[in-house]
Amino acid sequence: MRCFMVQLKLWLILGLLLSVVVTTKASVSDDGYERCELTVKKWASSSIDSEVKENKNTLHDLLFFLHVPRTGGRTYFHCFLKKLYANFEECPRSYDKLRFNPRKTKCHLLSTHDDYSMMSKLPKEITSVMTILRNPIDRVFSTYEFSVEVAARFLVHPNLTSVARASRMAQRVRRKASVSTLDIWPWKYLVPWMREDLFARRDTRKLRGQSQLVTNNSYDMEDMLMPLHDYINDPIARDIVHNGATFQIAGLTNNSYFVESHKVRHCVLKYQNLGEYVLEVAKKRLDDMLYVGLTENHKESATIFANVVGAQVISQHTISSSSGDVASNNVSEQRTRVPDTKSDARAQGNKTEDSSTVNDAAARGNLTTEKLIEAYETCIASLRSTQAERRVNSLKEISPANFTKEARLHVPEVLIQEITSLNRLDVELYKYAQQIFTKQQTHMTQNDYAERANNTLSYPDYYTSPPSWRFMSLAMTGLALLFILFFVNVRRRTSKVKL
Ligand X SMILES: *[C@@H]1O[C@H](CO)[C@@H](O)[C@H](O)[C@H]1NC(C)=O
Give least dist CB 473 to ligand X, A.
10
Residue placing its CB nearer to ligand X in the complex, 83 or 283: 83
Give least dist CB 371 to ligand X, A.
9
Angle 234-239-240 (CA atoms, 0-180°, nearest 5)?
105
Where does this chain touch ligand X (CB under 6 A) — which range of 38-46, 68-76, 243-251, 325-333? Answer: 325-333
Give least dist CB 101 to ligand X, A.
23
Asked whether position 480 contacts ligand X by CB under 6 A, the answer is no
Amino acid identity, position 47: S
Where does this chain touch ligand X (CB under 6 A) — which range of 37-45, 204-212, 281-289, 389-397? Answer: 389-397
Give least dist CB 18 to ligand X, A.
42
The length of the chain, given as a count of residues: 499
Element of type H or E holding 257? none
Residues near 116 by beta carbon (within 8 Å), at least 6 away in sequence = 66, 129, 248, 249, 250, 251, 285
Binding mask 57-76 for ligand X (x = CB under 6 A): --------------------
Asked whether position 395 contacts ligand X by CB under 6 A, the answer is yes
Residue placing its CB nearer to ligand X in the complex, 7 or 330: 330
Please state, in angstroms and rounded to a whole number, the distance separating the CA atoms of residues 45 and 254.
Answer: 20
Give least dist CB 416 to ligand X, A.
16
Q: Which of 29, 211, 350, 446 binds ligand X (CB under 6 A)?
A: 350
Amino acid identity, position 220: D
Please state, in angstroms and rounded to a whole number, the distance separating the CA atoms of residues 345 and 360.
Answer: 10
Give least dist CB 495 to ligand X, A.
27
Give least dist CB 11 to ligand X, A.
53
In the region spanning residues 237 to 256, those forming contacts with ligand X, defined by CB under 6 A, are 239-240, 254
Q: How many CA atoms lie less than 13 Å away from 6 in the CB half-sphere?
A: 3
In the region spanning residues 450 to 479, those forming contacts with ligand X, defined by CB under 6 A, are 450-451, 454
Residues near 365 by beta carbon (within 8 Å), at least 6 away in sequence = 317, 321, 335, 338, 341
Name the E strands within 58-166: 62-66, 109-112, 127-133
Of 278, 277, 310, nearest to 291 (Cα)?
310
Residues near 81 by beta carbon (within 8 Å), at least 6 away in sequence = 63, 65, 109, 111
Where does this chain touch ligand X (CB under 6 A) — which range of 111-119, 137-145, 171-179, 236-244? Answer: 236-244
Binding mask 132-161 for ligand X (x = CB under 6 A): --------------------------xx--
Element of type H or E holding 19? helix 2-47
Q: Which residues bind ligand X (CB under 6 A)?
A: 158-159, 189, 216-217, 236, 239-240, 254, 330, 332-333, 347, 350, 363, 365-366, 392, 395-396, 399, 402, 404, 406-407, 410, 450-451, 454
